């Protein structure tokens, strides 16, 4: 989840939106930090309704989250955000974010 969020942050900057749902541990927290660092939006499922609240709680504790919502309200917010203009201010990209995005990918092997 972190690599996906970091890639979205680097590619879309303020147009990136990260959504953190139920899960264990802290997966995705660093990626949400990258999205926020580039001016994007961080949305987290309300931990009170999450089957496994570890990931939402980690995000809330470590990221300046924009919205904490029940799952039933997230889709309408995403629709609203998709219809809104994206701010285009320049946001610096860390050297590490650039490096991770440019890392060569391992060749894929066909399933056998």
Give me the residue label for tokens 């990258």: 34
pTM assigned to the model: 0.79
d(CA 79, CA 77): 5
Compute φ and ψ for 104, nearest 5 degrees: -65, 145
Asked if residues 35 and 9 have their Cβ atoms less than 8 Å apart, the reply is yes
Region class of 39: left (phi > 0), else alpha (psi between -120 and 50), else beta: left
Residue-wise pLDDT tens digits, 22-78: 999 888 999 999 999 999 999 999 999 999 999 999 999 999 999 999 999 999 999
Cα angle 39, 84, 27 (rounded to 5 degrees) comes to 45
Domains of the chain from N-terminus onward: 2-99 (3.40.50.180)
């Amino acid at each position: 989840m972190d690599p996906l969020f970091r890639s979205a942050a680097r590619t879309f900057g303020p147009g990136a939106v990260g959504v953190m749902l139920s899960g264990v541990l802290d997966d995705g927290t660093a990626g949400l930090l990258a999205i926020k660092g580039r001016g994007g939006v961080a949305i987290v499922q309300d931990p009170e309704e999450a089957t496994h609240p570890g990931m939402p709680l980690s995000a809330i504790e470590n990221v300046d989250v924009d919205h904490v919502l029940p799952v039933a309200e997230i889709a309408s917010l995403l629709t609203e955000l998709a219809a809104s203009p994206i701010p285009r201010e320049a946001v610096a990209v860390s050297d590490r974010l650039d490096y991770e995005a440019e890392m060569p990918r391992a060749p894929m092997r066909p399933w056998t």
